Chains A and B, each alone.
Chain A
Amino acid sequence: MTNQGNNKDIRIGFYICHCGTNIASTVDVQKVVEFASKLPKVVVSRDYKYMCSDPGQELIQKDIKELGLNRIVVAACSPFLHEKTFRNASSQAGLNQFYFQMVNTREQNSWVHLDPYASTEKAIDLVRAAIYRVVYHKPLEQKRVPIHPDVLVVGGGIAGIHAALTLANAGKKVYLVEREPSIGGHMAMFDKTFPTLDCAACILTPKMTAVKNHPNITLWTYSEVIGVDGYVGNFKVKVRRKPRYINEDLCIGCLDCIEACVYKEGRFYDEFNLGLSKRKPVYIPFPQAVPLLVVIDPETCIQFKSGKCKQTCVEVCEPNAIDFTQKERIEEIEVGTIIIATGFQTFDPKKIPYYGYGTYPNVYTALEVERLINASGPTQGQIVLRDGTRPKSIAIIHCVGSRDKNTNQWCSRVCCLYSIKLAHLLKERTEAEIYNFYIDIRTPGKMMDEFFIRMKEEGIKFIRGRVADIYPDTSNGCCGKLVVKAEDTLVGEIIKVPVDMVVLSIGLEPRADAQEIRRMFNITCSTEGFYIERHPKLAPVNTFTDGIFLAGCCQGPKDIPDTVAQAGAAAAEALTLIDTGYIEIEPNTAFVLEDDCSGCKSCIPLCPYTAISFLEDKKKAFINEVLCKGCGTCVAACPSGSIVQNLFEDEEIFSEIVGVLNYTYHEEEV
C-alpha cells in the first residue's frame, strides 16, 4: 500500500492533458506544467497528449508507485466525461479514489475562450485551486444502493411497446402506462410504412397483443403518471387510472353494447380518426385496439349528462360489465428504472393560415390522409374527398411547420419519406396526378433513397419550391379546385397548379405537456421541448437523471426503425442497472457532528429529500445517508455549523477559494 499520508506528508502529482489540440491550441500547457511544478507539495508535474488513453493513465499509476504520490490532480476535459476514468486509474494504483481532483480545462476554458494568454491564466488559477484543495481530501468509501428490479415505461407507442417487451422477455416486471384507451401510438394510425411499404397493422398488432398477454407486463391504458418521488433504483410512482365505466375483468370485448347504444349512428368527434368519422358515446378507438375494451365517454353519454337514458347498453351486456359508478383509481408502485416514451404530436397547420387548413375542406393533413388510406379507417381505405368524390390531382406540400422560423425551426426528418410514401399510396388508389412540393428531399438511411428513386420512376412529380399560397380556383367559373402557387426554383418559373386535394406534410413537435412531464420526472428538455439525452453521441438514451431513459420521438423526430433501435437501447440500459443490482453513489453526503448539534431542528424542514430526522433520545439531528443527495442546503443553514459535507468540507472549500483568488496580473505580458 502506498503511503496515503497525513498533511505533512502530502505528495501531489499534477497532469495536464492536451486533448489533441482541443486544449493545447488555446492553453499554453507547458506554462501550466511549469507553474504547477513550483507549487508546494507538488512532486511531479507533467503534460500528455491524451491523459485518458491507456498510456496516459499508466503514467499516473507509475508515478503513484514510483514517486509515492498520494494526491492526483488532472487538468483535462469535464469531470462529467472522465472523472471516473481517473478515479479508477488512481484506485487501481492503490490510492483511495477520492484523493483525486479534476480541473475542467476544456469545456469551461479552451472551448469557450479565444485569447490564449487569458485562458492559460485561467487554467493556472484553477489548477492552483485544485492543488490547494486536494491537500485536504480524505479517503472516502462509495456507498451502494440496491436497484428495484421493476421498470416503468411511460407511453405505449411503438417505442414504449418495444422497450416493454424487451424487458419483459428478459424476465423483468414492467408497468406500461398509456394515456389513451389503446396502446399503439401514431404507428397504429398508418396503413403502410416507408421504405418497405409493409403493412403497419401486420407488424404492430402482434406486438400489441404480446404486450397484453405477457405475464411480466402490467398494462394500464387510459392512465397517467401523476407523481414521481425517489431516485435511481428506488422510484415511487403514482398513476391515475381514469374510469372507463367498464369493469375490465368482466368485459369480454364482444362490443354488443356499442351496437345497442340508443344512438343508432356515431354522432361525436372520433379522436382516432381525427374527426373524419363519428363515434358513439360508447366506443372502441379502433378495431385492433389493445386492450379491446369499450370506453364510455361521460362528456357525450346521455346517462352521464341527464341520468335519464334507457341504458340499452347495460341491458345487452351479458357479463354485466358496464358500471356507471366507476371512479378513478390511484395506484402506487415502486420501480427502479423508468423509460419515457411519450412520442410526439403533429404540427397544427392552422398556424400557417395561407395553406388554408380549416378553411378549405379539401386541404388535409398527412395524418388525416393516413387514416383515409387505412383499410380500417373512416372510408375503409377509399380515397374520397369530403364531398365523396375521388381526387384526380393531388398536391403534397412538404415541410409544413418544419424548417420555418415562424413555426418550428427543425427538420422533422420523416416528412420527406412519408410524403413520398403517401404519394405512392394515393397514386396507387386513385391514379391521380401527384405533385410533391419540396424544399430539399432528405432521404438518409438504409433503403430510403432507393425508395425515393423508385417513386420517381412511378411518375410522381417533384417540384422544388416551398408553396407560397393556396386559394380556390375561380378561373372560368371553375370547379372547386384549389390552386397551389409556388416558384419552381429549378426552372425559375412561378407555377400555379390546380388540384382537387392538398395534403400538408405536417412536422413532428414535442407534446403540449412536455414541460410538465419534464418537471415531474426531473429530466431536461431543449427550448423547443424535446427531452435532452445525456450525450448526443455516446449516451443517446440516458437522461441527466440516473435511472431515467428516453426512447422514440419524445427525444426528437425519428422514423420507426430508429425509434425501435432507441427503445431497445433504453431497455438495455435499464437492464444493465437492474442486473448490476446496485448503484454506487457519490459519498458527497452530509453528516451531523453530534457533539456540536444543539438540536434546534432548523435543518429538518429545509431538506428537499426529507433525509433529516430527529433522534428524540439524543435530541440531535440525524441525516440518512441513503436519502441525502448532497445538495448542501442543511450545511449552509445549520446555525451552530455542526453539519459537514463530505468532499465539501470547510477547509477544502476555503483552500480552493484561496487558490483561485491568489493570482497576480502580469500586465507586461499582455
Chain B
Amino acid sequence: MIADLEEIKGVTLETIYETSEGKLILTCIQCGTCVGTCPHGEYMKYPPRRIIEMLLHGLADKVSDTDSMLKCVNCYACMAKCPRGIHLTEVLLQLIKEQTILKLPTLPAELQKALENSYRYGNPMGESGRKRANWVATSKYPVRILSQNPGPVDVLWFVESYPAYYPRGQDTCRAIAKIFNRLEIDFAILGNEERSAGECGLLAWETGLAEALIDYNISILGKYTFNKIVTSDPHALDAFNYRYRMYGFKKPVYHIIPFLMPYYDKLKSMLTRPLNYSVTYHDSCCLGRHNGFFDEPRALLNAIPGIKLVEMFHHRINSICCGGGGGGMWLDTYFKSQNMERLSDIRIREAIATGADILAVGCPYEIPRFEDALKVAGYENKMVVKDIVELLSESMED
C-alpha cells in the first residue's frame, strides 16, 4: 500500500494526476468507507470522501478553507480500508493539509510551540539539546555515544525525543539498552548530536521544518560508519523510510520490534522471569496499518512466560488511533475547544473493557497519552501502560 516515493516527491494538488498514485483518485467510487472509519470523521466538514469529490470538481480550495484536515491524525485507517487502494493518508490528505495550514490565520498555539521548539531545540518539548543523552548515566548497561567514541558500529540506535527526555520514555531507553547488551548487539547512539527525526505527517506539510531537520540529521549521520538504524519510535521509522529517502537517505531503518524478531530464539531463552499479567496490545497506526507489523509485537509478548494476551475489539488493521499522529500530539487543546472527544479516551475504554492489567504499546507517544486517559477514566490504579521493550526487559533476569 506504500506509494512510490520517487513519483510523489514534489507533487502538488495541481500535478497530482500526473502520478499513478494520484490517478487512483479518479477511481474513487464514493463509497464512504474512508469517512466511516475515520476516527475524527464526524468532526470534519470535509472528510476524505468529500475531499475527493471536491477535488475532482475543482473545489479543493473550499476544503482547505476549513479546518477539516487539521483534524486528520494520520492514522492510515481510511487508506487501509479504501476499496480502490487510494493513497489517502500518504499523499492526498497531506497536500490538503499543507494548504490548510498555509491558510490558517494562526496555528493552534500548542502546535505552533511544538514546531518552533523542534526547529530551535531539535525536540518538540523545548528541552535543551545538551540534556538529550542525560538518561545514559542512569542506565545499568553501557551505552556508547558516537561523538565520544566514533568508531564503526553495526546498529545506530536513533533514540528520538520522547524516549530521550520524557521520564517514562527513559524507562524504555534503559530497557532497550539492557536488551541490546544482553543480545550482544554492537550498538551506539548519537547522544546530544541527535535531533528529532520529525514524524512523517508533520514533515509532509511543514516543508521548511522538514528540510531543516532532515538536512541536519543526514549530515550528522553521514559522519559515522554504521550498517542500520534502529528506533523505538514508529513515527521516526516512517520519517526515515518515507521522507528522508526523498532526500537521498539510503541506510536500512528498522523499528525495534521487527528488528528483534531474528533474535527471537535467543531472546526467548533469556525471558525467564514469569510476568503473570493479562496484557492487551494497542496496534500503533504507523507500525501496524502503515508498515504491516501486526504479528511481531504479539509474538514478542507471547514469548514472555506468564503473559496472557487478550485482544480489544478493534485490533490489527482495525485498531483505533490514540490521537497522537499527524500533529495530534499537540492539538489536544484545540480539539477540546472544538468539543471533540479525545481518541485516547475512547481507546482506553476498550482497553479497560478487556480487563487486562497491562496495556502494551510500541510507540513512545502512547505511554503519556494512555496514562493520561487512564487518569481521566479513574482507572490509573488498575491498569498500567508499558512499552513491549519494558516488558521484555522485566522478564529478563539480570
Contacts and interface: CB of A to CB of B under 8 A. Distances in A.
A444 interface: no
B47 interface: yes
Given A469-B36, A487-B32, A494-B41, A354 B313 contact: no
Contact of B33 (A353, A464, A468, A474): A468
Q: Which of B35, B85, B353 has the most CB of A within 10 A?
A: B35
Given A439-B31, A468-B36, A406 B83 contact: yes
Contacts of B314: 469, 471
Nearest to B44: A494
Interface residues of A, number: 25
A282 to B, nearest CB: 40
Contacts of B117: none
Contacts of A318: none
Given A354-B317, A471-B313, A405 B84 contact: yes
16 contacts: A353-B318, A354-B37, A354-B81, A403-B29, A405-B84, A406-B81, A439-B29, A466-B36, A468-B33, A468-B35, A469-B318, A485-B36, A486-B32, A486-B33, A489-B35, A494-B42
A489 B41 CA distance: 12
A91 B93 CA distance: 66
A489 B31 contact: yes
Given A354-B37, A472-B313, A474-B353, 17 more contacts: A354-B317, A403-B29, A403-B83, A404-B83, A405-B83, A464-B32, A465-B32, A465-B36, A466-B31, A466-B83, A467-B33, A469-B36, A471-B313, A485-B37, A486-B33, A489-B30, A489-B35
Interface string A354-367: 10000000000000
B83 A494 contact: no
Nearest to B50: A492
A106 B383 CA distance: 72
Nearest to A495: B36
Interface string A467-485: 1110110100000000001
A353 B313 CA distance: 11
Contacts of B41: 487, 494
Interface of A: 353-354, 399, 403-406, 439-440, 464-469, 471-472, 474, 485-489, 492, 494
Shortest 7 CB-CB contacts between residues of A and residues of B: A468-B36, A487-B32, A466-B31, A487-B35, A468-B37, A404-B83, A465-B32
Contacts of B83: 399, 403-406, 466
A487 B49 CA distance: 10
B316 A353 contact: yes
Q: Which of B36, B47, B83 has the most CB of A within 10 A?
A: B36
B50 A494 contact: no
Contacts of A485: 36-37
Contacts of A404: 83
A497 to B, nearest CB: 11
Interface in B86-127: none
Contacts of A405: 83-85
B85 A406 contact: yes
Nearest to A490: B32
Nearest to B77: A468
Contacts of A489: 30-32, 35, 49
A388 B152 CA distance: 68
Interface string B310-335: 00011011100000000000000000
**In terms of DSSP, what is the predominant structure of the interface of chain B?**
helix
B229 to A, nearest CB: 31
Contacts of B42: 494
Interface string B49-66: 110000000000000000
B36 A467 contact: yes
Contacts of B316: 353
Interface in B12-40: 29-37
Contacts of B349: 474
A467 B33 CA distance: 6
Contacts of B84: 405
A494 B45 CA distance: 12
Contacts of A472: 313
Contacts of B31: 439, 465-466, 489
A407 to B, nearest CB: 8
A469 B317 CA distance: 11
Given A487-B35, A487-B41, A487-B49, A468 B81 contact: yes
A477 to B, nearest CB: 11
Contacts of B313: 471-472
Q: Which of A406, A485, A488 has the most CB of B within 10 A?
A: A406
Contacts of A488: 32
A546 B34 CA distance: 48
A489 B32 CA distance: 6
Nearest to B349: A474
A486 to B, nearest CB: 4
A464 B31 CA distance: 8
A494 to B, nearest CB: 5
Interface string B140-175: 000000000000000000000000000000000000
Contacts of A399: 83
B318 A487 contact: no
A403 B83 CA distance: 7
A584 B53 CA distance: 57
A439 B49 CA distance: 13
Contacts of A487: 32-33, 35-36, 41, 47, 49
Interface string B70-87: 000000000001011100
A466 B32 CA distance: 6
B42 to A, nearest CB: 5
Nearest to B42: A494
Nearest to A360: B313
B295 to A, nearest CB: 13
Contacts of B29: 403, 439-440
Q: Which of A466, A486, A488 has the most CB of B within 10 A?
A: A466
B290 to A, nearest CB: 15
Contacts of A474: 349, 353
Contacts of B81: 354, 406, 468
A396 to B, nearest CB: 16
B32 A354 contact: no
Given A405-B84, A474-B353, A492-B50, A353 B317 contact: yes
A75 to B, nearest CB: 36
B388 to A, nearest CB: 22
A487 B314 CA distance: 18
Nearest to B80: A406
Contacts of B30: 489
Nearest to B294: A353
Contacts of A492: 50
A637 to B, nearest CB: 46
Contacts of A468: 32-37, 81
Contacts of B49: 487, 489
A230 to B, nearest CB: 44
A157 B35 CA distance: 41
A486 B36 CA distance: 4
